[in-house]
Amino acid sequence: MTPPRPFAIRGHSLLPIVQGGMGVGISAHRLAGTVARAGAVGTIASVDLRHHHDDLSEQSRHCRDKDELNRINLVALDREIKAARELAAGNGLVAVNVMKAVTEHPALVRQACASGAQAIVMGAGLPLDLPEMTAGYPEVALIPILSDARGVAILLKKWSRLKQYGSDGVLPDAIVIEHPLYAGGHLGAPNPAELANERFNLAEVLPGIFKVFDDLGIARGQIPVIVAGGINSHEKLLAALALGASAVQLGTPFAVSEEGDAHPNFKHVLADAKPEDVVTFMSVAGLPARAVNTPWLANYVKREAKLQAVAKADPKRCAIGLHCLTHCGLRDGIKKAGQFCIDSQLVAALKGDFNKGLFFRGSESLPFGSAIRPVQDLIDYLLTGIKCDPAAAVA
């Protein structure tokens, strides 16, 4: 059996596997560094990383000053990137995920570049200005996350007019296409009713993207396409590659790995969830999102209509003072968006608080069921279809 072929980003030959960025703190240095060390792409989620550092958590415990909280989070990001690069020991690629919807995204991008990130991955909004944000760091790969061919066409046309590094504009180093019907976290569809729209199906999106490439004179393979959402087996990896993808991106299966940076309770909540426990709802960021229907989420969804009816713009509603989102349903009184503080809920999940946390999860079953296994077992299974026996590994 021939193993799936590697793909390349900026001259790095990589296993065709990407660990998607997962915030808050779910993919920090340990997960991203371990995945990169194995020869794949590991991604640190940049948002609110201070919670992984006792000294920074202590410094910010009573702080409600947005600028100070952001400064502390940049220190945390710097530490996480350096630790991941060290763990990777020159293998694979260490990327940093920055959500466009986050207020501080330009500062996070610049810090990531300065601290040694090898790629910036940006979604949750069209990253039309990502090349400008990374000016001065031409060695850093740029990877937008999109969900359909239309988004790809808009982005490529805009980037092709930028003369940053020469007369031909800027090309993405890869593009992630995330299927909103299966992925965990925020979803790239305007509302929950759109999630199952056929335009997101890989068999439709990929030929659409290749046509955009052809129309713009971009050779096949010049921009690797990485597909995400519900990839949970060797067969699905092979099927994605057969459709022309260069690699697959996984979130949930890496989140529950031994090296995942979240509390063990977080991993068990995801790994033990049955298909009917995974639900979609409107996030405070104004996008649909997918998570496990834990007590906090079930209770919130019941009260959502009432909370939306009394939505009102009031900066004091950002009780933790972080003002993490440019547009926040709760703080800005946006009635059609969620009405809760997503940062507080995600941090509770990171710390393993089953009752209070918001546990993002993709819709599909996990490769090892409810077992928590090392990253290397997951990568080996994805590449070969063989699940190593954990008992044999211990013996």
Ligand X SMILES: Cc1cc2nc3c(=O)[nH]c(=O)nc-3n(C[C@H](O)[C@H](O)[C@H](O)COP(=O)(O)O)c2cc1C
Does 228 help bind ligand X (rule: CB under 6 A)?
Answer: yes
Q: In whole angstroms, how close is the CB of 264 to ligand SF4 at the nearest point?
A: 26
Token reading at 316: 């004091």
Strand-by-strand arrangement of the 278-282 sheet: 185-186, 288-292, 278-282
Q: In whole angstroms, how close is the CB of 324 to ligand SF4 at the nearest point?
A: 3
Select from 148, 343, 364, 377 the one that contacts ligand SF4 (CB under 6 A). Answer: 343
Question: Among 151-159, 273-281, 295-303, 323-331, which window interacts with ligand SF4 (CB under 6 A)?
Answer: 323-331
What is the pattern of x (binds ligand X, CB under 6 A) and - over residues 8-47?
Answer: ------------xxxx--x------------------x--
Q: Which residues pair with 280 in a beta bridge?
A: 290
Residues 290-319 that bind ligand SF4 (CB under 6 A): 318
Residues 242-271 that bind ligand X (CB under 6 A): 249-252, 255
Does 322 help bind ligand SF4 (rule: CB under 6 A)?
Answer: yes
DSSP alpha helix (H) spans, the chain: 29-37, 54-60, 66-88, 105-115, 130-133, 149-160, 202-215, 234-242, 252-255, 264-272, 295-309, 329-332, 342-350, 375-384, 390-394
Pairing between strand 175-178 and 17-19?
A: unpaired
What is the pattern of x (binds ligand SF4, CB under 6 A) and - over residues 254-293?
Answer: ------------------------------x---------
State the number of CA atoms in the 13 A half-sphere of 365 facing the CB: 8
Select from 125, 172, 230, 338 the one that contacts ligand X (CB under 6 A). Answer: 230
User: Helices 264-272 and 342-350 meet at what angle, rounded to 10?
Assistant: 100
Does 186 help bind ligand SF4 (rule: CB under 6 A)?
Answer: no
Residue 29 interaction partner, one of ligand X, ligand SF4, none, beta carbon < 5-8 Å per kind: none
Does 140 help bind ligand SF4 (rule: CB under 6 A)?
Answer: no
Does 182 help bind ligand X (rule: CB under 6 A)?
Answer: yes
- In the complex with ligand X, the residue whose CB is nearer, 311 or 364, is 364
Does 324 help bind ligand SF4 (rule: CB under 6 A)?
Answer: yes
**Cβ-proximal residues to 195 (8 Å cutoff; 6+ apart), any chain:** 180, 181, 187, 189, 280, 288
Select from 51, 179, 323, 361 the one that contacts ligand SF4 (CB under 6 A). Answer: 323
- In the complex with ligand X, the residue whose CB is nearer, 227 or 311, is 227
Does 188 help bind ligand X (rule: CB under 6 A)?
Answer: no
- In the complex with ligand X, the residue whose CB is nearer, 15 or 311, is 15
d(CA 325, CA 111): 18
Q: By CB neighbour count within 10 A (0-12 exposed, 13-18 middle, 19+ buried), where does 111 fall?
A: buried
Question: Among 76-84, 156-164, 228-236, 367-375, which window interacts with ligand X (CB under 6 A)?
Answer: 228-236
Does 200 help bind ligand X (rule: CB under 6 A)?
Answer: no
DSSP 101-114: TBTTHHHHHHHHHH
Does 324 help bind ligand X (rule: CB under 6 A)?
Answer: no
DSSP 150-192: HHHHHHHHHHHT--TTSTT----S-EEEE-TTT-SEE-SSSSG
**Cβ-proximal residues to 81 (8 Å cutoff; 6+ apart), any chain:** 29, 44, 94, 96, 112, 115, 116, 117
Look at the chain and count its residues: 395
Does 80 help bind ligand X (rule: CB under 6 A)?
Answer: no
| Sign of the CA dihedral running 249, 109, 138, 206 | positive
CA-based nearest residue to 84, from 259, 343, 246 = 259
Q: In whole angstroms, how close is the CB of 49 to ligand SF4 at the nearest point?
A: 15
d(CA 102, CA 124): 9
Does 350 help bind ligand SF4 (rule: CB under 6 A)?
Answer: no
- In the complex with ligand SF4, the residue whose CB is nearer, 174 or 328, is 328
Give how far Cα 50 sits from Cα of 40, 94, 208, Å: 26, 19, 40
Residue 230 interaction partner, one of ligand SF4, ligand X, none, beta carbon < 5-8 Å per kind: ligand X
Question: Among 73-81, 147-155, 177-185, 328-336, which window interacts with ligand X (CB under 6 A)?
Answer: 177-185
Binding site for ligand X (CB under 6 A): 20-23, 26, 45, 97, 99, 123-124, 145, 178, 182-185, 228-231, 249-252, 255, 360-362, 364
Q: Which parts of this chain interact with ligand SF4 (CB under 6 A)? A: 284, 318, 320, 322-325, 328, 330-331, 341-343
